[in-house]
Amino acid sequence: MQSASPFHLPRPAARTVILSALVWTAISALGALQTYSDNLRTGVASRYPVLLATWFIEYAVPLMVLSAVLVTALGRWPVLVARPRNVVLLFIGLVLLFQPAQWLYIAWLRDYLDIASFADVRRLLMKMLLVGWFTTTATFAAILAIHYWRQAKDRELAWQRAQNDMLNLRLQLEEQRMLALRAQLEPHFLFNALNAISALVRAGDKPVALAGIGRLSTLLRYALAASTDNTATLAAELQFVRDYLDLQRLRYGDRLRVAIEGAGDALLDEVDCPPLSLQPLVENALRHDIDCHDGPGDITLSFARDGDAMVVTVTNRVPAQASPNPGAGLGLANTRDRLQRITPGAALHAGVRGERFVAELRLPLAKE
């Protein structure tokens, strides 16, 4: 692996140096133009190219070197300006080192270094004393401002990257949780469907059991298709529930009594919900009603609009002497969890009201 050259500048620092060079070149061009204009008014003979070269060599070159040194130093050692005290010390050091060097450089170019006495030194100092203070201070302030701005921008970009990484991680976790929920729900549904068919097989009714297997294949096709989608329409979910009830009817016979109300509402084709949302509610009703006694069931599945929501209600009678239901409760819990994650504004409430168990699913209607 090749090591980086000590003179290699990062791209942002290189851009700052180039920008500084362009700015001081432009200032030199304007300064030379002003000097040339003044010479014309006073009748002094001069040439603009010579004046431009003088301005550039005397003023622009030192300040371009200063800019490059400051940018490199701040890029390598940000601690130099990490505190206000450090900034003051850096500026003092800059004045003590760069300003005399700039004076000597300009004096050398102007042939002022022919010094024979202390008086010559004093005259040179008086000539140079006011040269470069403003430009040196302005260069330092500009480079410092650019450095702080770039640090703030880097922190903002780092914060945005951290936020994006966090959001992506949360999204991945949500996707994994959804996959885990589906992995729980689909075997749970499959287990209960197979349980219905196994009851037919044990009863020795093979033709009916074969019909049940055919109905199960229809249900599995929908479940497999739903495993790749995040949403389904209420109309599709209702058809799936009808097929599921047809399978269960092979097992329960005339005991299975389910009233479906509001199924003709055209909004059912427009309301979205997570796949396999209704079937767990109906299955829960079966297990809390018909599985807990020997009589006929009394289950109602209704669809009704309530303001800006479609309300799906599944109710079943809770017999006073009913035995405890052996279900694991995965259906309702997983359905509620999937609703919260996939359909904002949806809600599922379930509990006993009087002599009936009520599961109420609210799904927001699409805004027109």
pLDDT tens, position by position, 281-327: 988 888 888 888 888 888 999 999 988 899 999 999 887 665 544 44
Q: Give yes or no for residue 4 having a pLDDT over 50.
A: no
Q: Give yes or no for residue 78 having a pLDDT over 80.
A: yes
| Least reliable range by pLDDT among 150-159, 189-198, 285-294, 312-321 | 189-198
| Exposed / middle / buried, residue 149 (Cβ in 10 Å: 0-12, 13-18, 19+) | exposed
Q: Where in the chain are all domains bearing CATH 3.30.565.10?
A: 172-364
Q: Give yes or no for residue 44 having a pLDDT over 90.
A: no
Provide the pLDDT for residue 131: 61
How confident is the model over 22-42, as a mean pLDDT? 79
Packed helices 330-342 and 278-288: angle between N→C axes, nearest 10 degrees = 160
Banded model confidence at residue 17, pLDDT cuts 50, 70, 90:
confident
| Least reliable range by pLDDT among 1-15, 107-121, 127-141, 328-342 | 1-15
Q: Which residue has the higher pLDDT, 321 or 38?
A: 38
How confident is the model over 195-217, as a mean pLDDT? 72
| Class of domain 172-364 as given by CATH | alpha beta
Residues 6+ apart with CB under 8 A from 11: none
Q: What is the 3-state secondary structure (H, E, C) of 333-354?
A: HHHHHHHHHHCCCCEEEEEEEC
Q: Which residue has the higher pLDDT, 305 or 30?
A: 305
* CA–CA distance, 316 with 299 (Å, rounded to integer): 4
Provide the pLDDT for residue 292: 81
Q: Which residue has the higher pLDDT, 368 or 37?
A: 37
Provide the pLDDT for residue 5: 46
Provide the pLDDT for residue 173: 60
Q: Give yes or no for residue 143 having a pLDDT over 90.
A: no
Provide the pLDDT for residue 302: 94
Provide the pLDDT for residue 69: 81
What pTM does this model have? 0.49
Q: Give yes or no for residue 191 having a pLDDT over 70.
A: no
Mean pLDDT of all residues belonging to the chain: 77
Q: Which residues are registered as beta bridge partners of 216?
A: none
* CA–CA distance, 56 with 31 (Å, rounded to integer): 9
Cα 203 from chain centroid?
57
Other Cβ atoms less than 10 A from the Cβ of 53: the count is 13
* CA–CA distance, 86 with 80 (Å, rounded to integer): 6
Banded model confidence at residue 362, pLDDT cuts 50, 70, 90:
very high
- pLDDT tens profile 258-277: 999 988 877 888 888 888 88
Q: Are the beta carbons of 246 and 271 closer than 8 angstroms?
A: no
How confident is the model over 3-27, as a mean pLDDT? 67
Q: Give yes or no for residue 123 having a pLDDT over 70.
A: no
Q: Which residue has the higher pLDDT, 300 or 121?
A: 300
Q: Which residues are registered as beta bridge partners of 302?
A: 261, 313
How confident is the model over 64-92, as a mean pLDDT? 81
* CA–CA distance, 198 with 226 (Å, rounded to integer): 25
Q: Give yes or no for residue 160 having a pLDDT over 60.
A: yes
Per cent of the chain over pLDDT 70 is: 77
| Least reliable range by pLDDT among 88-92, 211-215, 242-246 | 211-215
Banded model confidence at residue 190, pLDDT cuts 50, 70, 90:
low
* CA–CA distance, 18 with 23 (Å, rounded to integer): 9
Provide the pLDDT for residue 270: 87
